Amino acid sequence: MPGHGGEAGEHRSLKESFEENGEETMMTRTILAIALAAALAGPAVAAPAAVSGQVNVNTATATELQLLPRIGPALAQRIIEFRTANGPFKAPQELVRVKGIGERSFELLKPYVTITGATTLKEKVRVPRNSKPEPAAKE
């Protein structure tokens, strides 16, 4: 049957076509470049960069409080108003008494808040929307 590869040499394989045109090398390089980019981007996308530093919730300004994860201008203002009305926080866990901060939110904040010392956090802490805090280690 004509056109169905019955005759020798009538149809070339796909590999032969690529080799003749030099496209195989280009395609291989493209695939390798994509694979390399995906491998390098994977960890960066999967895990947020580690941010170090803490915010002293007893002395922080609204701008400094906004460096904390999920704290925007309104919530920062509520923290300051709470602090002004009730005095300094005696423990970081008292943040859950501020409207808008629950147990789950506090678990995200906990590594970055303190009630003593200087505020040392210098950049916004970003956490994915669906992130769940790590369970606390049992002592």
The 3-state DSSP class for residue 98 equals coil
Q: For residue 2, is pLDDT > 80? A: no
**Alpha-carbon gap, residue 108 to 71, rounded angstroms:** 11
Q: Quick check: pTM over 0.75? A: no
Among 1-10, 104-113, 126-135, which is the least confidently predicted range? 1-10
pLDDT tens for each residue of 52-106: 899 999 999 999 999 999 999 999 999 999 999 999 999 999 999 999 999 999 9
Lowest-confidence segment of 41-55, 95-109, 115-129 by average pLDDT: 41-55
The C-alpha angle 84, 89, 93, rounded to 5 degrees, equals 130
